Every structure is written in C-alpha cells, then in structure tokens.
Structure 1
Amino acid sequence: MNKTWLAAAATALALTTGTVIASAAEVAGTTAETIKYSSNGEAVSPSANAVNIGGSLYLPIRAFGEATGKYVDWDEFRSSVSLTDKPELVGKYKLVAPDLAQGIKMGVGSSLTHLPGDPDNVFYTTADRGPNGEIEVNGATVRTFPLAEYTPTIYKIEIADGQIKILEQFPLKVNGTNPVTGKAGITGLPNIKGRDETPYDPKGEKELAYDPYGLDVEGLAYNPKDDTFWISDEYGPSIAHVKRDGTLIERIVPKGWTAQAATPLVTAHEALPAAYNKLRQNRGAEAVGITPDGGYMFMAMQSPLRNPNKDTDNSRQLRIIKFDLATLKPVAEFAYVAEDANQFKGLKQGDIVISDLVAVNENVLLIDERDKNAGDSAQLKRIFAIDLSNATNILGKYDDNQSAGKTLEQMSVGELKANGITPPSKRTVVDLVAFRFPYEKVEGLSLVGGDTIVIVNDNDFGVGSDLPENGTELWTFKLPYTIK
C-alpha cells in the first residue's frame, strides 16, 4: 500500500491473541528502540517501529501483519485493508519423463484442475500448443515449430513420492478428418493467416500450414453437469468445449472470427465481444474456470487488449468475462487491475500477466498473477482471492473510444474511479516469491478441499533452456482456513 496506515498495537494484538499488552499509563515514556515483540511466543521484528502517541503504541498495519505471519493488502478503491494468514508449503513434486526429441522436453503444466470425487492427489493438466521458439532470419524474428505434428493433449496425472506421474493421455481431436493432419487429431498451429503469428519450420525458412482447428491450450476447467472440459485458447482468443476423450464439441470465439476461419467439424459461437479480436499475439485467453455447480464459466485474458492499439500494452486493466453455461452467452465482464509495476524494481507493466484461475463460486475466484522473471529475479508471483460481488459489470461498455471517450485499457486508475468502475477486490493467498519458487511460468492453479492450493509451472518444453532436468514442478500449500 502506498500510504502509511497505523493501527493501535494494543487493539490489534487483542484481536489476534486475546490479550491487551499495554495501557496508556504503562507505555508512557517508552521509546521505539526499547519495545520487543513476539507472536505466539516467538520473537519477531516488525519492519517498522511502533510510535508512542498520547501514551498509546501505534504500529504500521503492514509491519504488524508481516510480524504476525499475515499477508497485508490495500484496496484503494474501497479504502480497505485485508489481513490473511500465510499458508504452509506441504509438498513438492517433479515431472520425470523422457524427452520428446533432441533438445525438446516433455511438457505439462499450462493448466491444472481437480475433479470432484477424484483422490486429492489426482489432477488433469495440459501442455500448450507444443514446442515453439523464435529465431532471427534475414533480420526478422519468426516463430518456429520444431514438432509441427505435435497434438495438444489433456493429461491425467498423479502426485506421489515426490514425482508427477502421467496416468492417461487424451489427445485433442475432431469428430472427422482434419484436412491439415489427414486424421482426427488437431495441431497447435495458428488458425488464421494474416491475423495470428506466422508458423515456420525449425530453420525459419518454410511457412507451415495454418490449422483452423489448432489450439494454443492454456487453461482447463471441468463442468460436472455434463462431464466435459472447457479449454481456454490463446489464438482465438477462444474457449473450446471438449469431451473427456479429447473430442472437440464447440468453440466460443469473438464476433467476426468465423468469417476468417472455416471449422465445419466444430461449431463456433461468436459470443465474445468484438473487442477481443484486438488481443496481443500470444497473450490471449489464458485462464478458465467453472463454478462447482456447473452454472457459470469465467475466462481471463493474459494481458490487456491492444484496444485501440499497442499503446495499451502497459495498461493495468485485464478483462475477466463471465458466461452462463446454459446459454453460452456472456452475462458479465470485470476490469481486473493488475499490480502496479512501479512498486517493483525494473519491472514493466506489460510483463505482469494473469496465468490461471479457479472459480470457487459465482463471486470468488482465485487468480494467478505473475511477472516474467524466474528464480532470484522474480518479484511478483502471487495467488490472489478476488471478490466479484461488488465489482462493476462493464459488459458492453468501454470496448471502443468512439462513444465512451476512452477504452477500458486506455484508462488510468483515477479514470476508472471517475467512471464509477470498481474492480474486484484482491487479497493475497500465496506469495510464491517468498517461498522461492524457481520457475517463471506458474501457469497451473487448482484448489482441493477448499484449503489446499496446488500450483504447477509450464516448462515450455525446455526449448532454448539448459535445464538439467525436465523443469516441471508441482507444489502444494495448506491454508490455515477454508476459501469459500
């Protein structure tokens, strides 16, 4: 938080421990240097000293929260402070799997979901569109696909004995023959020439075919009502409906998309607003979640839309859209405000992204927000619980700057307030930087039993890396409370 918020130490500790530690008479003459602190009997050192004002001790609320093992979050839209107990890291698991090819590792971890009724150590996950990279060819950067035949796949996994074990695989396919592959399987190649990235062979010399059925798989959610999955795809951006065996059923796309791509084997519903066509390439539909009752689905974009153009790449506003699964129509949209890059060292706002979400219920989501750094360079890798119950529904508004004056992405925080736009409230549930999670792309997030957070990273197939191992890790955290 930017302001220095003070709380009476006696009152605050009374709320925490049931004991008032000082009265006005007792603290008279006390100096900051002589005060000692403990929490649950253990000595602690607050990051700032208390002050003696009128015979009462005051301690900055952030210092108090940190000293007593709590996360502290400030909401400038609601002028509120949230204190949240920190979790315990209870498990670490590594993927041990053979390489797909020379220099290309097996990959999972672009998503993660736990199905109701499954054992607590069994999950479903995906990799993304397959191995890909960027190389310079004749002074231009091109996108290469060293395994163009790779089929995006849903994996059923189990965690046990420190390892991630693959139990079953469900390659994505159409009900018929994909003209690009000559069989039912799809690829991870882009959909539309001139709109999506141009795909090239490993040397960057030959342009590959586009696959209108291709998916860049990033998020995975389960609908208990019909025993199916929904996948968020960066290309469309779209959300694809998939049977448990990997067969594509239908796809939700932005208005105007179907005029550019023919997908007769998979019905495309133009239910996303046209503004979603203005996505930043490779920064599309990153996260998807479905409420436990199967009533609603949420999708989050990884980065701000280029709305109206790439000048908004450093906007703090990312979009979360809500669908009624009975009608496949959007019913709400929210302006998620990412953390301010200015509070970090050398971090660009455009490098702060959403990577996954979990729909706890219709009003509470877990959001994975992170930077683009790894290891000791990482500054932001947090799981937030957000509350949509009193956030502004902006569906159908601020999509263009012709009628609204500015698009959502063009607005400053002050302009959001001036327009009466209140984003969801946020509170930290897990700070992965504090736990020294070693990888950049924390892209899979799940919640088990309401009190266990599970995260996994995407290793990008090890392309361009020098990892001695596979480079995929799944960690589990136990919360001292239940999220509901």
Structure 2
Amino acid sequence: MRTHTTISTAAAVAVLAAAVAAPAAAAPQAAPIVKSSATLPATPLSDVERQIADDRGVDLGGIGSGLFHLGGNEYWTVTDRGPNGEVKVDGADRRTFVVPEFTPALVRIRVQGDRIVVLETLPLTTPGGAPVTGLSNLPRDEKPYAADAATPLPLNPNGLDTEGVVRTPDGHFWLVDEYGPSIVEADAHGRVVARHVPAGLEDDYAAAGVAYPVTGSLPAGLADRRSNRGFEDIALLPDGRTVAVALQSSVVVSGERDRTVTELLTFDTATRATVHEFGYQFDDPSTFAAGTRGRDLKISALIPLSQTRVLVEERTDTEARFHAVDLDPSRALITSADKTLFANLAGVAGVPGKVEGAALRGNRLILISDNDFGFDGSRAYPAGQDVADSGIETVLVEVKVDDDPFGSVETPGIGLGS
C-alpha cells in the first residue's frame, strides 16, 4: 500500500486535534423548503444505448451522479458505471454488473414542469469509438461478476465509474471517477482524451492495455482511497479552467476505520496539473443522527461560489448539509471552524435520498438524486431474468433556502450554449 503523506502529517494532526468538531455557523433563519420537483420518466436502457442487446428490464437512471447547470432549466448530468449490485455470497460482498455492456453516459436534460426531459445522450468511448464500459479496471479494484453473482467478468482498464461532470469553454467535458480515483477529460463527442490518476498508477494502467492516455498527475496518496469511495464530484471555478474535486471519504489509514478527514484538491485543466490539495474534516458524527459513525460520512456534491470558495455537501444515507468553505492554499486542513453552514436538509419534506448532483441559483439549491438505476441490487439474477424494480425514481428538486448569504450566486456553464 502506498503511504498517504499529504494530510497524515504531524502538523495536520495537531491542527485536527485543536479543531472545533461542531459546525461553526448557525443555520438559516427558516427551514429550507422544496418549491418544485421533477421526475425522469421510465425509459428502457436499450433505447438509450444501442449496443445493449438485453437491458434486463432496467430503465435509464443513475444520471444524478453529477449536475452541471447550462442556464435556464437545462443541465448536463452523468451516469455512474451502470446498473450494478452488491450481493452477499458466503458472507462476502460481490460486485455484480447486470448489464455489463453498459457504458457511462453524459445526459443533457431539461426540466419541463414535473418532468425531466432527456435532450441528448453521449456514451463515453475510447478515442477509437469503443464503449469504455463501467467495469472494474485493475486487480486492486472490486472483482466484477455477472448478474448471477457467480460468473466472473473480465477487468477492463478503460472502464469508468463517473460521478461528476463540468464543461469547459472549449466544449470539453471534465469528469471524476471512483476507480482511480481519476479526473477524466472527454471531447465534445464523449471520446476520452486523457485520464489523470494518482502518481504511480499510470504504469499499472499502461501494463493493463488501456486504450487512451493515462497520466500520474494527482497526489500519490489518493491511490489509497477506500473501495467504492473515490472522487465523487467536480466543480468548475469562474476562471473556466480550474476545477475542484472531492474524495468521497477518508483514504485508508491503518487502525482508523472511522477517520473523519478526506481530501479536496484543485486541478488546472489547461496545464493538466494538480494545483493544491486540502485535507477536509467532516462535521463530528455526533452532530448527525444517532449511531452515525465516521465511516458513514461522505462528500457527494461541490458547487462553485467564487474562484476561492465552494459549497460542499456532507451527507449520510439519511441526511445532507451544505457548507461554504474557502480554498485557502495556506491551510493544510479545512476544519469545522472554517465552514459556514448554508443549508441543513435533514428532515426537509420532498428532498430525495442520495443527492449526488447539485447547483445553485441565488438562494435556490437545485438537487438531483442518484436512484441506482431503480432496481434491487442486493440480490442475484439468473441469466435472462429481468431485475426487480426498487420503485426509486430519479428526481430533481428546487429547494428554497431562507437566506441568500452569497449575493444571488448562480452556477451556469461558462460561455457555453448546449
């Protein structure tokens, strides 16, 4: 295992020990309220991606993994790696891929009344046009199985588990991925141009036969991310070239399963280089619902406020709160004392579960949920059998927050049309 050195330093530990665990600022004067809600209609997955011969009854979903505002009621979203499950076999979890030929896709949507309308889909491909798929990449990743949880599937070094998207003024898409974790550049047609991984992993990808350029542009310690807890979102800052990305949970540190520090970093899309890495301390688990542990805390969304400030969504499986934080390069660690609470959505009626994509329009949070493709992924499915519907839909909501402390900030695309 690579040694994680960036925030596990004596200085950072000293800062952490002195930090105040509870949120620093008071909540807005009135509770947030959901003002509108829109739902994605059922659309067979094989209607969206023509290479899929049998979608096993799965509908388009998972598009709530990221949200990039284009202006008005239009957004780019992105799916994750596709319909996948976690099935218990002989006491161990197995990662199943119900439709292994699925490839992550960019999905442009418009909100019309109470409906989410799909305007365009761009499946991600290699430079040669082959689907990247969402399959695990390297032996260090979860071993992939077919839907029956018994038949092993081959690894694919091109595979991506995308979790956030922005679009730069040149029309390219920048995404984050959980496997590497990595930052991925794709052109306007969805072809992967380059993938940036923790230093040292690029050789592993090359040896595995990856079909696009892979560069070790990120801090090496990020390779110690927890399984299925890689980069979770990306925000484009106002200069149109710098992005902020977040690791969902703490890297693996021996003996610290409930460690409550994860990582934020800024990356220059023009020079293709990491600018700065920050440690990020979650709110104390005791400030969430009873029984919450450090391992339950996740960053799931980032929203740009200025060139040096972002909103960060901290969440569990049942709660979500948004904090404004400054990206001050003189700080090694962002603590609770550095946060300003913008919205606590715990208990707010109409807020969907598993919010992973977010944007801001004045005092309105725009949130989209990840419905995990709307099927029961906890069980195995024999060959040819359709999946069981979970009943969970993809929902986009507009949430009004009483105060507007950031001066009517909006986060549309920068100099972009569709």
Q: Same fold (TM over 0.5)?
A: yes
Question: Pick from 436, 449, 455: which aligns with 2:367?
Answer: 455
Question: Is residue 300–residue 320 contact of structure 1 (8 Å, CA) maintained in 2?
Answer: yes
Structural mapping, 1:210-221, within 5 Å = 210-221=155-166
TM score, norm. by length of structure 1: 0.70
**C-alpha displacement of 1:249:** 0.8
Provide Cα deviations, 1:357-396, integer angstroms capped at 9, x if missing partner: 1222221101121102xxxxx2x2112222224x6443xx
**For the Cα contact (< 8 Å) 1:172–1:186, is it kept in 2?**
yes
1:422 Cα deviation after fit: 5.5
Work out the number of aligned pairs and report it: 364
- Which residue in 1 is equivalent to 2:314? 369
The one-letter amino acid of 1:135's match is V
User: Paired residue for 2:93, among 141, 149, 156?
Assistant: 141
Paired with 1:237 and 1:424, the residues of 2 have a C-alpha distance of 28
What CA distance in whole angstroms lies between the structure 2 residues aligned with 1:259 and 1:388?
Answer: 31
**Equivalent position amino acid for 2:65 in 1:** S
1:437-484 Cα deviation digits (max 9, x unpaired): 454311111123x44320011001123177674511111124442355
User: Where do residues 81-160 of structure 1 align in structure 2 (5 Å cutoff)?
Assistant: 81-82=25-26, 84-86=28-30, 87-100=32-45, 101-102=55-56, 104-107=58-61, 108-115=63-70, 118=71, 120-160=72-112
Matched, 1:273 2:219: yes
RMSD between aligned residues = 2.4
Per the alignment, in what secondary structure is the counterpart of residue 345 of structure 1?
Answer: coil
Q: 1:85 to 1:335 in 2, by over 3 A?
A: farther
Q: Indicate whether 1:474 and 2:396 are aligned.
A: yes
1:171-199: CA deviation from partner (whole Å, max 9, x where unpaired): 1011115xxxxxx2110001112x00000
Percent identity reads: 34
- Aligned counterparts, 1:9-408, within 5 A: 76=20, 81-82=25-26, 84-86=28-30, 87-100=32-45, 101-102=55-56, 104-107=58-61, 108-115=63-70, 118=71, 120-176=72-128, 184-193=130-139, 195-224=140-169, 226-262=170-206, 265-307=211-253, 309=254, 311-343=255-287, 344-372=289-317, 378=318, 380-389=319-328, 392-394=330-332
The structure with the largest alpha-carbon Rg is 1
| Deviations, residues 312-359 of structure 1 (Å, cap 9, x unaligned) | 331111100111222122121112111111233011211110001122
- Contact 1:304–1:312, Cα closer than 8 Å, also in 2: no
Structure 1 residues 468 and 78, CA gap change in structure 2 (3 angstroms): closer
SS of match in other structure, 1:206: coil
Report the CA distance between 1:200 and its aligned residue.
0.6
Residue deviations 1:387-416 (CA, integer Å, cap 9, x gap): 224x6443xxxxxxxxxxxxxxxxxxxxx7
Q: After the TM superposition, which of the residue ranges 267-276 and 83-92 deviates more from structure 2?
A: 83-92
TM-score normalized with structure 2 length: 0.81
> In the TM superposition, what is the alpha-carbon distance from 1:432 to its structure 2 partner?
2.0
1:431 matched to 2:344? The reply is yes
Q: Give the match's secondary structure for 1:303.
A: coil
Post-superposition offset of 1:79: 10
Q: Is the CA contact (8 Å cut-off) linking 1:95 and 1:470 kept in structure 2?
A: no
Cα distance, 1:82–1:432 mapped onto 2, change above 3 Å: closer
1:406-417 equivalences in 2 (<5 Å): none
- Cα distance in 1 for partners of 2:363, 2:132 equals 37
Name the CA distance, whole Å, in 2 between partners of 1:78 and 1:134.
34
Structure 2 residues without counterparts, runs of 5 or longer: 1-18, 46-54, 378-387, 410-418
State the 1:151 CA deviation: 1.1
Structure 1 residues 264, 187: CA separation in 2 closer, same or farther (over 3 Å shift)?
Answer: closer
Within 2, Cα distance between the matches of 1:249 and 1:424? 40
Cα distance in 2, alignment partners of residues 208 and 77 from structure 1: 44
Q: Kindly indicate whether the alpha-carbon contact (under 8 Å) linking 2:282 and 2:336 is maintained by their aligned counterparts in 1.
A: no
Partner of 1:48: none
Amino acid at match of 1:314: D
Residues 85-138 of structure 1: CA distance to partner in whole angstroms, max 9, x if unpaired? 5554321111112343445332021111112xx3x1101111110011122334
- Indicate if the aligned counterparts of 2:24 and 2:340 stay in contact, CA closer than 8 A: no
Which has the bigger relative contact order, CA under 8 A and spacing at least 6? 2
Aligned to 1:4: none
Q: Secondary structure at the match of 1:174?
A: coil
